Structure 1
Amino acid sequence: MIGLMQRVREARVSVAGEVTGEIGQGVLLLVCAEPGDGPGEIDWLLGKVLRMRIFADDEGRMNRSLQDIGGGLLVVSQFTLAADVARGNRPGFSAAAPPAEARASYDAFVAAAHAAHATVATGRFAADMQVSLINDGPVTIPLRTPRRAPPSD
């Protein structure tokens, strides 16, 4: 799984003018499923997002996590994070999970997030979404789950 987390003062996502999710202070997470992602990848990525110390403590140091501050988590599916731009000028997206697999991974991620954190909002999978945010810092951190060993024969 690939994630791009942004520390925000506020963020919202809408589809066709309807707000589907919004948060105040917290993290906007763009997430992309890759083929073969399962519970291990979901747990790893969610754990990093919830425990990454990117919020200021009383001394102004980035020493507090999303869970520490009780901030919101806005999760938005974003297959373009898997873009391959090595050749030419048109990105390729073959590294992203196929739509049915990606939806299952996204839904499982969102369910795990709801189980682990109090304030979770979402976009709408595979929709044309408009995302607005006030990036705080800015603090933007790319995340990618560790590569799994290929299956043995």
Structure 2
Amino acid sequence: MEQIIKELGTYCVEHDISLEDLKQIRKELQTEKLKSESLNNEHFQKFLDLKNKQIVSGNLKIDLFLNSVKKGNRLLSIHENELLILQLLMANSHKTIKDEEILRLLETYGYDIGLKSMIVYVSRISHKIGKTSKQDSYIKRHWKHGYYWNVRVTIQEEPV
């Protein structure tokens, strides 16, 4: 394994492949893996349809190309795994996403976590984004079944 890593490193240096290039390749491979899994899963297909889109929901503005979330004019600190969960829930607004589907999505992107950790992630996201101006929660829980996005989602054509 050590030899393979050394050869890969040498190849990257010789061909001017940066760490950012490798991260982009990793993302593309993860997307391809999810596409193959999504053939029989409507929720994952909708997730992929939002890739690189800009979305407005309530007073949240999410740019999935820049991986940023704004609440009003305030930029929120969101980890990649939290953004993946947000994207899946928003892509399937008002539909319950099973805990297992969220875990499978995170696993596809390299986050091998358990159910309790996933619940903590969703709770952390919910706390960060807060409530809508009408005091509705963005994320709702169907006890022991999954989560759903509770607010209307609009895809923006212009930058948010």
TM-score above 0.5, yes or no: no
As a proportion of its length, which structure holds more helix?
2
Say which structure, 1 or 2, has more relative contact order (CA 8 Å, 6+ apart): 1
As a proportion of its length, which structure holds more strand?
1
Tell me the TM-score normalised to structure 2 length: 0.30
Tell me the TM-score normalised to structure 1 length: 0.31
Q: Which has the larger radius of gyration?
A: 2
